């Protein structure tokens, strides 16, 4: 049986989930992260945990705070042209639901759990080199020291070393650039509804997403050429009030403390491995945030990579390593397809974009089916809330 050791680049949801899983199996691993603790735990991004993510955190004993401080998510409301309807998606999916808990809090629990289990995590310690020319990959850290590993997990995001080091031709990237972008915001204001609101408006999509009792995330579809400077707070609130408007409903506003332009980009790398390096999470794929999938896919990747590495450590059978990609890719494309369909159900096509009027009609048909077809909603609910956690 081979004894293996793993170096994990990046302490985001993907890297820390993998670290926790390997640590619990007794597989030696080191996590290196360029941010210090404060920077790492200050990154407010996702907040909707799929059902399988919640079940995994429970399985590894890191769900207590999430269950105590977060809450299950039930209703999702769709608004368009002055009309609206609300779906109780768990009731179409045997009661399974998302759980609302901010990503930085998930990362905090994963980090605490890893450290409490004796995990070796090096914060404020960027990887600056990844040499794959020898029999074992070698990672060079910013302080000049090196780590030699049997395997490297590149869980270091889109611009990390894991993806950048892939030899030419080793990986094929499938990409798509969308014709709009999102201005994404966090505001200190309680949610104006106890659920997610997606609004389609002639000037573009607006989203109201839950984060906590005091913080709400908002998204606005904006033209690709806009910058944050084009959007002072009063313009943002005016637009959110207009696009989310519904008779009898009031949007509560408050100070905006985070304002970013999100390029709407989709990418999948196939395979998610070259030699002894595996790409995990955003390093392997980028998905538009419309369906709340990015963090959940990252965690699901880590779960599968842990399984594959454990199988290899137990048997020495190297053919099992290729299963990481072959088993993850269908799930990733399913999520891409769902997020793509959701975006094209709620966004307004820019003037002059090809076939805009026809596509807008398709969009109305999707919304109509969501409102009137149980079969359509059941499929939507299963995709939105996500698949079950494997045994
Ligand atoms: C505004 C916003 C909203 C989002 N909303 C959602 C949502 O609702 N639901 C959802 O599921 N997803 C959402 N996402 C996507 C989600 O946040 C990402 O998919 C998720 O963070 C991916 O996790 P990861 O671990 O793969 O990568 P990351 O979280 O990016 O972690 C990678 C880590 O690697 C570190 N790193 C990079 N380079 C190096 C290096 N050279 N050396 C050492 N460390 C390095 C980085 O500092 C980082 O900590 C959102 C994203 C954004 C930006």
For ligand 1, pick from 98, 103, 218 the residue to mutate: most ligand atoms within 8 Å of CB: 103
Burial of 352 (0-12, 13-18, 19+ CB in 10 A): exposed
Q: Span 15-28, mean pLDDT?
A: 97
- Report how far ligand 1's centroid is from the alpha carbon of 282 (Å): 6
What is the pLDDT at residue 81?
Answer: 83
How much is the pLDDT for 295? 98
Query: Sign of the CA dihedral 244, 247, 250, 253?
Result: positive
Give the bridge partners for 269, in sequence order: 173
Q: Is the CB of 313 under 6 A from ligand 1?
A: no
Looking at residue 352, its pLDDT comes to: 84
Residue 305 Cβ contacting ligand 1 at under 6 Å: no
> In whole angstroms, what is the distance from residue 318 CA to residue 122 CA?
29
Maximum C-alpha span of the chain: 67
CA distances from 200 to 153, 220, 305 (A): 39, 10, 38
Distance between CA 363 and CA 84 in Å, rounded? 15
Q: What is the pLDDT of residues 270-321, one digit of tens each?
A: 999 999 999 999 999 999 998 999 999 999 999 999 999 999 999 999 999 9
Q: How far, in Å, is the centroid of ligand 1 from the Cα of 143?
A: 24
Question: Which residues are within 8 A (CB) of 13 and not within 5 positions of it... i.e. 6 or more apart?
Answer: 103, 106, 107, 110, 281, 295, 298, 299, 302
Which tens digit of pLDDT belongs to each residue from 187-235? 999 999 999 999 999 999 999 999 999 999 999 999 999 999 999 999 9
Quickly name the fold that domain 6-73+98-175+265-341 has. FAD/NAD(P)-binding domain (3.50.50)
**How many Å lie between the centroid of ligand 1 and the Cα of residue 28?**
24
* Residue 1: pLDDT band with limits 50, 70, 90: low
Q: How far apart are CA 18 and CA 3, in angstroms?
A: 17
Instruction: Say if 6-73+98-175+265-341 and 177-263+351-385 have the same CATH topology.
Output: no
Task: Give the pLDDT score at 158.
Answer: 96
CA of 371 to the centre of ligand 1 (A): 33
From the CA atom positions of the chain, what is the Rg in Å?
21
Could you tell me the residue ranges of all domains in the chain?
6-73+98-175+265-341, 177-263+351-385
As a whole number, the mean pLDDT across the chain is 96
Closest by alpha carbon to 161, among 7, 19, 305?
7
What is the CATH number that goes with domain 177-263+351-385?
3.30.9.10
329/174 Cα distance (integer angstroms) = 12
């Amino acid at each position: 049986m081979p004894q293996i050791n793993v170096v994990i680049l990046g302490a985001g949801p993907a890297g820390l989930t993998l670290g926790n899983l390997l640590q619990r199996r007794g597989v030696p691993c080191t996590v290196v992260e360029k941010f210090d603790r404060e920077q790492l735990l200050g990154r407010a991004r996702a907040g909707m945990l799929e059902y399988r993510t919640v079940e995994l955190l429970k399985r590894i004993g890191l769900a207590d705070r999430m269950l105590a401080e977060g809450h299950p998510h039930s209703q999702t409301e769709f608004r368009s042209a002055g009309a609206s309807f609300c779906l109780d998606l768990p009731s179409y999916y045997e009661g399974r639901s998302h759980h609302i808990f901010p990503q930085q809090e998930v990362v905090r629990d994963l980090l605490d759990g890893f450290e409490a289990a004796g995990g070796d995590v090096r914060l404020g310690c960027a990887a600056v080199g990844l040499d794959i020319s020898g029999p074992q990959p070698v990672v060079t850290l910013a302080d000049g020291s090196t780590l030699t590993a049997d395997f490297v997990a590149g869980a270091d995001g889109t611009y990390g070393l894991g993806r950048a080091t892939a030899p030419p031709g080793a990986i094929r990237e499938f990409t798509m650039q969308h014709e709009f972008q999102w201005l994404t915001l966090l505001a200190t204001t309680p949610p104006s509804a106890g659920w997610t609101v997606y609004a389609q408006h002639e000037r573009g999509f607006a989203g109201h997403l839950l984060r906590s009792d005091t913080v709400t995330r908002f998204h606005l579809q904006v033209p690709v050429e806009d910058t944050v400077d084009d959007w002072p707070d009063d313009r943002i609130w005016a637009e959110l009030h207009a696009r989310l408007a519904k008779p009898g409903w009031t949007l509560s506003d408050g100070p905006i403390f985070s304002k970013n332009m999100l390029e709407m980009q989709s990418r999948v790398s196939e395979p998610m491995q070259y030699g002894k390096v595996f790409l995990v999470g955003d390093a392997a794929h980028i998905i538009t945030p419309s369906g709340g999938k990015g963090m959940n896919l990252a965690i699901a990747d880590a779960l599968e990579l842990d399984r594959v590495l454990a199988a290899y450590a137990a048997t020495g059978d190297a053919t099992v390593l290729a299963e990481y990609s072959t088993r993850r890719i269908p799930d990733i494309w399913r999520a891409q397809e769902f997020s793509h369909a959701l975006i094209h159900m709620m966004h307004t096509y820019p003037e002059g974009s090809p076939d805009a009027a026809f596509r807008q009609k398709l969009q109305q048909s999707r919304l109509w089916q969501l409102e009137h077809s149980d079969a359509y909603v059941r499929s939507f609910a299963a995709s939105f809330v996500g698949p079950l956690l494997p045994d």
